[in-house]
Amino acid sequence: MTELDMATKWPMYIGGASRTSERVTPVLDPGSGLVVASVPAAAREDALEALSYAQKGTEIAANMPSHQRMRILNQASDLIRARREAFAVLIATEGSKTIREARKEVDRCVDTMHLSAEEARRQEGEVIKFDQSPGSENRVGYWQRGPVGIVLAITPFNDPLNLVAHKVGPAIATGNAVIVKPSELTPLSALKLAETLYEAGLPREVLSVVTGSAHDIGEPLVQDPRVRMVSFTGGLKTGTHIAHQAGLKKISMELGSNSPVIILADAELEAAAKACVSGAFWAAGQNCLGVQRIFIEQGVYDEMKERIVALTAAIRMGEKMDESTDMGPLITSREATRVADWVEHAQSRGARVLIGGERQGTYYRPTILEGVPTGMTVLEEEIFGPVASLVAVKDLDSAIHQANSVNYGLQAGVFTRDISSAFHAIKKLQVGGVMINDSSDYRIDAMPFGGVKGSGLGREGVHFAAEAMTEQKVVCFNL
């Protein structure tokens, strides 16, 4: 693994300074269950110290010229690209992704950092025509954007590198200081990203990565008034708790989904089947955009079922570092057990398992259900596992009605060759993004990304995160 060899103990970074602790949290490979590293279990005092450094970091970051921010972010992007395989091994070791999936995440992170560098040059404003108001004829001015101050980034386990980059990159681009609280399950990628940014020339006070539990360090950071923005990606329950704790500060939240895909009879069926299977089982289904509910027009239901089941049967589940493996384990045995329980509960109420439905430790076989009764958890909540349900519908409106019936609305996919049907779905689906002739799982890092209802607040995507991490300031001259 060359530069990224696993050390037994990894430090965290407070104001850029390497810190260890007698209290540590083990990092496990979810496939083998072996301890691959440990990180400090930070205490409240560590969080408060990180805030003190971040206060100094805000002054430094705000005074960095745009070309310096751009150079640092571009240099970090280049370093990550040069170390692609080592970063991929790190992601696949501490998380659930296969080595092939991990390489794609590294590629996306390279793009995210480059986009962030470009965003540093785009923090512009506009001239204000004050003379539109009587009595202001002698006034001229403009508005401009400035940093919010300290951004707290709380990140999940499922994209341990790129989701950190989606918060850190725009924050640096816009002149903020950042404190990252990574997932306790996958902290190593965030720590290695921080090291890379320091190497690229980022002033160390601008970025801290504090490892530990939400109770010990997350809550003190969220509640502290010095934090001016909380950017959180995770579950709805945790997001709601954070929103109640945060007080009067900016909040950006991506809280997951229960993503629907609608397949109409006029669709290109093989393409739809391939997209749905890929979208359902990428990263073992631990993906906020993952395909969970597949609504199929009755006339092609049986054919689509056959295609989807056949493609699911071809998925190779196994060891993450094996180049032939398509799907690895879930992040913990507890999560695998939860997914199994949800499926078994649906079965007990009449749902049929067409394929899969078997757990082996942290592994859960790719699973397709049908006949799931209304109200079952596998249809109502985010399963965050390799399970998708097929639902026959009489027409597009019926599919839209059922797709909208849950308290989530991140993205949806619609497969049709009819432009009128496509635009009808775009208008009626209550989601943050509608992918026509793609599954809900399609995303690029430059697009606005977020949802409605329980799927969150605000939008990620580099440009849109950067906007959220700034405040507008009006300047007016009375001549």
| Residue-wise pLDDT tens digits, 174-212 | 999 999 999 999 999 999 999 999 999 999 999 999 999
CA 248 to chain centre: 24
Mean pLDDT, residues 58-75: 98
Q: Which residue has the higher pLDDT, 310 or 2?
A: 310
| pLDDT range class, residue 275, cuts 50, 70, 90 | very high
Catalytic residue among 109, 195, 288, 382: 288
Domains, the chain, in order of start with CATH, read: 2-256+456-478 (3.40.605.10), 259-444 (3.40.309.10)
pLDDT per residue over 74-86, tens digit each?
999 999 999 999 9
Averaged pLDDT of the chain: 96
Q: With cut-offs at 50, 70 and 90, classify the pLDDT of residue 2.
A: very low
Query: What is the C-alpha separation between 200 and 371, in angstroms, rounded?
Result: 54
Question: Half-sphere exposure of 246 toward its Cβ, with a 13 Å CA cutoff?
Answer: 22
Within a 10 A sphere around the Cβ of 64, how many other Cβ atoms?
18
Distance CA 365, CA 281 (A): 10
φ and ψ of 431, to 5 deg: -145, 170
Q: What is residue 7's predicted lDDT score, i.e. its pLDDT?
A: 64
Indicate if the pLDDT at residue 3 is higher than 50: no
Dihedral class, residue 371 (left if φ above 0, else alpha if ψ from -120 to 50, else beta): left
Question: Once rounded to an integer, what is the mean pLDDT over residues 452-456?
Answer: 96
Q: Residues 466, 174: contact at Cβ < 8 Å?
A: yes
Confidence of residue 5 (pLDDT cuts 50, 70, 90): low
CB atoms within 10 A of CB 251: 18
Point out the catalytic residue in the list 94, 195, 254, 460.
254
Task: Give the model's pLDDT for residue 212.
Answer: 94
**Residue 254 falls in the annotated catalytic set:** yes
pLDDT for 8? 83
> 230 near 240, Cβ under 8 Å?
no
110-169 confidence digits (pLDDT tens)? 999 999 999 999 999 999 999 999 999 999 999 999 999 999 999 999 999 999 999 999
Structure tokens at 302: 């049986």
Closest among 183, 178, 210 to 72, alpha carbons compared: 178
Q: Is 354 helix (H, G, I), strand (E, B) or coil?
A: strand
Q: What is the pLDDT of residues 360-419, one digit of tens each?
A: 999 999 999 999 999 999 999 999 999 999 999 999 999 999 999 999 999 999 999 999
Calpha distance 276→440 (Å, rounded):
8
297 is catalytic: no
